[in-house]
Amino acid sequence: MARAQDHPTLNGSWSATALTERWNIGEWGEACGPKPKPQGAGGGSVQVREQGGELSIVGAGRAWSTSECWEQMPGLSRSSHSASGGGRFWRTRCSTPKNDPRQATIVTTTQASDTSISMNETGQYQFVIQDQNCTASVTRSRSYSLVKREGDEPAPAASASAAPSASATATPAAPTTTPASARPPPKNCTGSSGDPARLEVSPSRKLLRPGDKFAFRALVLDADGCPVSVKPTWSLAAGPLASKASVDPAGLVRIADDAGEGKLEVAAAVGGKGVTITIEVASADHYDALLAVSGLNDAGEADEAAVAVIATGTIGGRASVAEDSAKQRKHVFVAIVVALAAALGLAGFVLMRRGRGHFRPTTPEGATAIPEDPGAEDAEVGSGEPSEPGEHVAAVTAAAQATAPAVRKRGKICPTCGQRYGAEAEFCGKDGTSLVMIN
């Protein structure tokens, strides 16, 4: 097998065919939303560069590398990568985290010869939304043919066939329009706004050169479409160009002067839910050619905004606004206290009803018993009309006060004969023995 250095360089100008995409839908309930549809891309001229054993391909509406998957689903990350065939075959596997309800597995393979490159990708998707399975698979493919190798003169046959193909398939630049996020707020937006329900960032795609800087425009809206005074957080996704760029809290992105060509992803999020914006970095020599076939407007921007629904679920980017758990715990606590108070009150009432029919104050030894009122017991037991709780409490209190002096008068005892005396007595009247206090 020939070594990589024995092959001619793949650097140069190439022509890309249109990207084909085919979907196969499995289970797909109503909660899954619209079924996926093919979203191919037009062909056109591209620039290929060999960088670190990988191919970097810029053009035909996309900056892409053999070290990554073509699929750009949010949350998808590379799980494995390999190169073989003397540096002419690459395989990349991407997947979502195990705890992500949107399970996806993508396998992208790229194979190159001296004059052609082919890319093929297969994907498996399985979402669970409202207990309904949403399963689908996809295949994507695109091929590239050499137009001019770097350092070589273009072959007449190749240039004659490639140039018409590129011009015929190139997508004209779209006219400049007002970005979606720049639209005025609804006229009924008065007073305080509601909770964040929607995040819009524009543009959703941007073409930049090394050394450029650009401020993305973000708008957070409530459920009525009124602006909310909440600012998204900005971050750069990991990738080959992440170390050559920066983003500040206001969404201003700066590309380093020595940045290479390729793709960069910027994320904007509110409450952990957000969107990913794609930045394609092209050198000054390739910028105009890429702009002409990228489908971007004259400013190198996509006219549409990237949108994330925060308050309601969406396929591929489900989000929700968290409830105020502190307020919920407070309501639960109050309900528990009220229930306990009611239970204690009921128990006390039952015990009081039982006590009115059977309670009799105990007469201490030696004390005068409180005479019972036969008429009162007859009224309570026989008539079925018990006295009021206040009357019962007053009777018990009076009985306790009546017995208390009698108890205090029998506070001592003779240790010899056992005769009891009041607290004021000092000696036994029978044998003169000193009295002792009764415990």
Q: 24 and 159: one domain?
A: yes
Q: 199 and 140: one domain?
A: no
Residue 330 lies in a domain: no
- What beta strand segments (E) does 283-344 contain? 306-309
pLDDT of residue 248: 93
List residues bridging with 280 in a β-sheet. 207, 263
Average pLDDT along the chain: 75
129-143, 165-179, 349-363: least confidently modelled range: 165-179
Residue 369 lies in a domain: yes
pLDDT of residue 357: 54
- Residue 59, class by beta-carbon neighbours within 10 Å (0-12 exposed, 13-18 middle, 19+ buried)? buried
Question: Which comes out higher in pLDDT, residue 155 or 415?
Answer: 415
d(CA 100, CA 271): 17
Q: Which 3 state secondary structure label does DSSP give 399? A: helix
Question: Which comes out higher in pLDDT, residue 136 or 62?
Answer: 136
The tokens for 348 are 């006390």
Q: 304 and 371: one domain?
A: no
Length of the chain: 439
- Residue 329's pLDDT band, with cuts at 50, 70 and 90, is low
Question: What integer is the mean pLDDT of 379-385?
Answer: 43
Q: 427 and 398: one domain?
A: yes
Question: Which comes out higher in pLDDT, residue 404 or 223?
Answer: 223
Residue 5 lies in a domain: yes
Q: Which 3 state secondary structure label does DSSP give 337? A: helix
241-255, 319-333, 423-437: least confidently modelled range: 319-333
Q: At residue 398, does pLDDT exceed 70?
A: no
Q: Which 3 state secondary structure label does DSSP give 96? A: coil
Q: At residue 33, does pLDDT exceed 90?
A: no
- 0.75 surpassed by pTM: no
Q: 164 and 198: one domain?
A: no
CB 293 within 8 A of CB 45: yes
Question: What integer is the mean pLDDT of 31-51?
Answer: 85
Identity of the highest mean pLDDT range in 169-183, 204-218, 336-350: 204-218
Alpha-carbon distances, residue 224 vs 59, 189, 315 (angstroms): 40, 8, 22
Examine the fold and report which residue of 270, 293, 322 is the final residue of a domain before the chain moves on: 322
pLDDT of residue 48: 92
Q: 248 and 396: one domain?
A: no
CB 389 within 8 A of CB 404: no
Alpha-carbon distances, residue 250 vs 234, 237, 323, 423 (angstroms): 8, 17, 27, 89
Q: 164 and 199: one domain?
A: no
Question: Which comes out higher in pLDDT, residue 136 or 288?
Answer: 136
Q: 251 and 208: one domain?
A: yes
- Residue 149, class by beta-carbon neighbours within 10 Å (0-12 exposed, 13-18 middle, 19+ buried)? buried
Amino acid type, 264: L
Residue 343 lies in a domain: no
CATH code, domain with 318: 2.60.40.60
Q: At residue 216, does pLDDT exceed 50?
A: yes
Full domain range(s) for residue 159:
1-171
81-90, 182-191, 200-209, 371-380: least confidently modelled range: 371-380
Q: 246 and 154: one domain?
A: no
Residue 177 lies in a domain: no
Q: 16 and 160: one domain?
A: yes
> 279-325 pLDDT, tens per residue?
999 988 888 888 877 778 888 888 888 887 775 433 333 333 333 44
> 228-241 pLDDT, tens per residue?
888 899 999 988 88
Residue 342 lies in a domain: no
d(CA 145, CA 14): 5
pLDDT of residue 268: 92
d(CA 202, CA 296): 13
180-194, 344-358, 421-435: least confidently modelled range: 180-194
pLDDT of residue 164: 41
Question: What integer is the mean pLDDT of 175-185?
Answer: 42
Domain count along the chain = 3
Q: 128 and 167: one domain?
A: yes
pLDDT of residue 174: 37
CB 57 within 8 A of CB 41: no
Question: What integer is the mean pLDDT of 161-174?
Answer: 39
177-181, 200-204, 323-327, 368-372: least confidently modelled range: 177-181
- Residue 147's pLDDT band, with cuts at 50, 70 and 90, is very high
pLDDT of residue 80: 93
The bridge status of strand 273-281 relative to strand 205-208 is parallel
pLDDT of residue 330: 60
Residue 350 lies in a domain: no
User: Residue with structure tokens 């993508």?
Assistant: 106
43-47, 286-290, 304-308, 364-368: least confidently modelled range: 364-368
Alpha-carbon distances, residue 227 vs 183, 271, 322 (angstroms): 11, 16, 19
Give the torsion through C-alpha atoms of 329, 331, 332, 333, to 10 deg: 80
pLDDT of residue 354: 67
Q: At residue 155, does pLDDT exceed 60?
A: no
pLDDT of residue 158: 41
- What beta strand segments (E) does 73-225 contain? 77-84, 89-95, 102-112, 116-129, 132-149, 198-202, 205-208, 213-215, 217-221
Alpha-carbon distances, residue 13 vs 153, 194, 260, 318 (angstroms): 11, 53, 17, 41
Question: What integer is the mean pLDDT of 410-427?
Answer: 78
CB 43 within 8 A of CB 143: no
Residue 183 lies in a domain: no
Question: Which comes out higher in pLDDT, residue 144 or 352?
Answer: 144
Q: 242 and 375: one domain?
A: no
Q: At residue 162, does pLDDT exceed 90?
A: no
Instruction: Kindly state the greatest CA–CA separation across the chain.
Output: 148
Q: At residue 266, does pLDDT exceed 60?
A: yes
Amino acid type, 386: P
Alpha-carbon distances, residue 118 vs 27, 122, 259, 280 (angstroms): 31, 14, 27, 21
Q: Which 3 state secondary structure label does DSSP give 265? A: strand
